[in-house]
Amino acid sequence: MISRNSIGGAFPLTRLGEAVEFLDSKRRPVTESERRTGPYPYFGANGQQGTIDEYIFDEPLVLLAEDGGHFGEPDREIAYRISGKTWVNNHAHVLRPNPGTDLAFLCRVLENYDVTPFVTGTTRGKLTQAGASEIVIPLPPLEEQRRIAEVLDRAEALRAKRRAALAQLDSLTQALFLDLFGDPAKNPKGWQCKRLKELGKVTTGGTPPSAKEGMFNGPIPFITPADLESGQPVKRSLTEAGAEESVTVRAGTTLVCCIGATIGKTGKATMRSAFNQQINTVEWGTEVHDSYGFAVIRFFKPTIVAWGASTTLPILKKSSFEKIEVPLPPLQLQAEFGRRLQVLETIRAAHRESLAGMYALFAALQHRAFRGEL
């Protein structure tokens, strides 16, 4: 991540508050129930949150997360560019570059900046305007800013192509499933259906007590909703003692987030793993191939979301989750799907490895660029 200590002294340094104008006073939050969909993007801390029928801004700007941002996560951006007619809620700072500050360069400096020294709050970190104003950024001559931004934009374009290739592989997986089994929500082939609790062991996770020593930083991955569908290694792990205070499942088990804003997100354990209480799992029995089980559950995300709908916090209890009925094709056909899927997984793994290398290269380019070594 970029920080004050990693910038170096090749370029003049300035406080963010001196390089931009904060337009935060023009922001207006709108609750989801009151927001009317329309032609204009509605933005928050981490990107577009939907659409709206009115707009506040109509110019190129940089948005910087105020609260709810991916603070402290080096591979996730906390700043991004917007343009045209837009609406921004109160979870993102709105920055208009001053003369002498290039918008694209500004966004590249801030997107992976380590702002944790400026963040306040213990449960939900908040980067106040006063804190954001104190962020120190390099400010080379305008032409050099534009050159650096162009180099980083080209590098980002390569990453975007790799991500698009991975998305295409995901689409191919879905197409393969539909070709063999049809849409499981409609069950056009008339397969017998059974509830999840009849097809495997359904379990809800748990978190070891943080007050106890020796619970974390061991060999057993500890999966949370943030790890599901991320394509990144699991960030936390447990010791054997920690695992005894949690719940573990075997490799091949399907994991589903059943509470909160990310309800319906899925994952598959690649080794013996633990998981927290926001996740329900299915350890498939003898009638279900692991690959089929994981794939079929993903088609039931709308069901999980609908069943878990709540006025305050979406939640699908284990007792309801295990009642979901899924089609049960012949095990031989499920295994054939698993074999074909393995070929795609091999290709996907190569793409992910390549993408990880591109992320590392991009981070290196950022550090060199802002130290004046590009």
pLDDT tens string 183-231: 998 999 999 999 999 999 999 999 999 878 899 999 999 999 999 988 7
What lies within 8 Å, CB to CB, of 42 at 6+ separation is 30, 35, 48, 49, 50, 51, 52, 86, 87, 88, 89
Lowest mean pLDDT among 117-121, 263-267, 328-332: 117-121
Write out the chain in H/E/C secondary structure.
Answer: CECHHHHCCCCCEEEHHHHEEECHHHCCCCCCCCCCCCCEEEEECCEEEEEECCCCEECCEEEEECECCCCCCCCCCCEEEECCEEEECCCEEEEEECCCCCHHHHHHHHHCECCHHHCECCCCCECCHHHHHCCEEECCCHHHHHHHHHHHHHHHHHHHHHHHHHHHHHHHHHHHHHHHHCCCCCCCCCCCEEEHHHHEEEEECCCCCCCCCCCEEEEEEEECHHHCCCCCCCCEEECHHHHHHCCEECCCCEEEECECCCCCCEEECCCCEEECCCEEEEEECCCCCHHHHHHHHHCCHHHHHHHCCCCCCCECCHHHHCCCEEECCCHHHHHHHHHHHHHHHHHHHHHHHHHHHHHHHHHHHHHHHHCCCC
Q: Is the pLDDT of residue 283 over 90?
A: yes
What pLDDT shows up at residue 115?
92
Q: How many other CB atoms are found less than 10 A from the CB of residue 112?
A: 22
Phi, psi of 260 (to 5 degrees): 90, -170
More confident site: 6 or 271: 271
Encoding tokens for residue 18? Answer: 């001196």
Tell me: domain 192-328, CATH 3.40.190.10, correct? no
Output b/e per residue, 252-286; b: 16+ Cβ within 10 A: bbbbbbbbeeebbbbbbbeeebbbbebbbbbbbee
Which pLDDT belongs to residue 122? 65
Does residue 282 surpass a pLDDT of 70? Answer: yes
Locate 348 and state its tokens. Answer: 């996907």
Lowest-pLDDT range, 32-36, 192-196, 281-285, 340-344? Answer: 32-36
Q: 71-115 pLDDT, tens per residue? A: 877 778 999 999 999 999 999 999 999 999 999 999 999 999 999
Q: Cα–Cα distance between 197 and 57 in angstroms, integer?
A: 51
pLDDT of residue 3: 78
CA separation for the pair 368, 139 (Å, rounded): 14
State residue 311's pLDDT score.
67
Tell me: pLDDT of 135 over 80: yes
363: pLDDT strictly greater than 70: yes
Q: What is the mean pLDDT of residues 331-346?
A: 94
What architecture is the 4-139 domain classified under in CATH?
Alpha-Beta Complex (3.90)
Name the band, by pLDDT with cuts 50, 70 and 90, for residue 10: confident
d(CA 84, CA 365): 29
Q: Terminal CA-to-CA distance of the chain, rounded, Å?
A: 17
Q: What pLDDT score was predicted for residue 188? A: 94
What residues does CATH 1.10.287 cover in the chain? 141-180+330-374
Structure token pair of residue 250: 């075997």
Please tell me the CATH code under which domain 141-180+330-374 is placed: 1.10.287
CA distance 148 to 166: 28
pLDDT digits (tens, 9 = 90+) for 160-181: 999 899 889 888 989 999 999 9
Task: Average the pLDDT over each of 70-74, 128-132, 164-168, 236-240 and give the range with the smallest value.
Answer: 70-74
Q: Roughly what angle, to the nearest 10 degrees, separates helices 331-370 and 103-111?
A: 120
* Structure-model confidence comparison of residues 170 and 337, the more confident one: 337
The model carries a pTM of 0.68
User: Which residues belong to CATH 3.90.220.20 in the chain?
Assistant: 4-139, 192-328
In sequence order, the 6+-apart residues with CB closer than 8 A to the CB of 340 are 176
Tallying the residues shown for the chain, one arrives at: 374
Could you read off the pLDDT of 16-44 as tens digits, one per residue?
999 999 999 999 888 878 889 999 999 99
In this prediction, residue 296 carries a pLDDT of 96
